[in-house]
Amino acid sequence: MPTIDPLSRFRDRLSLPLIAAPMFLVSGVELVVAACRNGVIGSFPTVNCRSPEQLDEWLSEIESRLRRHSDETGKPAAPVCANLIVHRSNARLEQDLQVLLRHKPEMVITSVGSPAPVLKPLHDAGAIVLADVASIRHAERAVAAGADGLVLLTAGAGGQTGWLNPFVFVRAVRAFFDGPLVLAGGISDGHALRAAQALGCDLAYMGTKFIATRESMADSRYKDMLVASSADDILLTTAFTGLQTNMLRPSIEAAGLDPDDLPARGAIDIGKDIDIGARENRPKRWKDIWSGGHSTSGVTEVLSVDEMIARTVAEYRAADLRLR
């Protein structure tokens, strides 16, 4: 373990060692607030906001509502965690960064590139910076750049995903890094969350199950499709983003496409809704064709965030007792 635990400042504010994963077009104010007031780190991609001005509005509203919750309950909420896309295609990166700095974030996750360009200003503002990585080589680079912790994207994570087995990935990274690790991929309940800790992780992402909550911004048809689907309905493809991405086969079929006969590789254009074909009336990724992780098998109904986290807490406690 590290001499100084970067997460120690807010561990006592967590009901679970869990992050509600940042999901494009899904994570918004309602989902983040509900997660945080239930003791789960609430995260969202800054590109979910239409502009830096709206990002400022979102953060202000989230902070105000969580302060009110803390005043009413006497219990501090879990941290809010913004997700910055650091890929060069994100034209808003510098503007969004400046907005975050004004709000003094406790934690920030960087995605799709090296965290190096944003580390110093975020550290100066007091933030813990986690970098998401999909390979051992990228993990080594993020640690060398100075990231405080790593989000390990493993096989089974929804959306743009990793390809390594989580057991192998976590243990390989633990061989050279003793800072915070977050496991992303396949966390469908409290038992899986406890297993992630036993493996050597400090926290885990839960994404797909949070899509199917009343507070998420996802289309109701998307939520119902997750309930009706299982891990067998997840397709790993590069057709829609150019990167390995886990998508729901039923949504591909509903869009009039054949999941078994897709283009080999799509255009990489992070954070935008791009037409799959040349015509404007073709279905768009994320809005018409939806992602999901292997944990889709754990989605059995649409719940409120309160209900979903309460169930996860009970499962986590049961798993903990079983291991003793």
In which residue are the tokens 């969004």 written?
96
Q: Which residues contact 294 (CB under 8 A, 6 or more apart)?
A: 155, 156, 185, 186, 188, 231, 234, 246
Residue 108 and residue 68: Cα distance in Å, rounded?
23
Q: Is the dihedral of CA 226, 54, 241, 112 positive or negative?
A: negative
pTM score: 0.92
Q: What are phi and psi of 250, to 5 degrees?
A: -60, -30
Per-residue model confidence (pLDDT) at position 271: 38
Q: Which domains does the chain have, with CATH numbers?
A: 11-216 (3.20.20.70), 220-294 (no CATH)
Tally Cβ neighbours within 10 Å of residue 136: 16
The DSSP line for 138-161 is HHHHHHHHT-SEEEEE-TT-SEE-
Amino acid at 268: I
Residue 123 and residue 101: Cα distance in Å, rounded?
10
Per-residue model confidence (pLDDT) at position 312: 98
Question: Is 257 strand, coil or helix?
Answer: coil
Per-residue model confidence (pLDDT) at position 288: 84
Per-residue model confidence (pLDDT) at position 278: 42
Give the tokens for residue 33. Answer: 């607030």
The DSSP line for 295-308 is GGGG--S-B-HHHH
- The pLDDT profile of the chain, 324 residues, written as one tens digit per residue, is 445 789 999 999 999 999 999 999 999 999 999 999 999 999 999 999 999 999 999 999 999 999 999 999 999 999 999 999 999 889 999 999 999 999 999 999 999 999 999 999 999 999 999 999 999 999 999 999 999 999 999 999 998 888 999 999 999 999 999 999 999 999 999 999 999 999 999 999 999 999 999 999 999 999 999 999 999 999 999 888 888 899 999 999 999 999 999 877 654 333 344 344 444 456 666 678 999 999 999 999 999 999 999 999 999 999 977 766
Per-residue model confidence (pLDDT) at position 269: 37
Per-residue model confidence (pLDDT) at position 323: 64
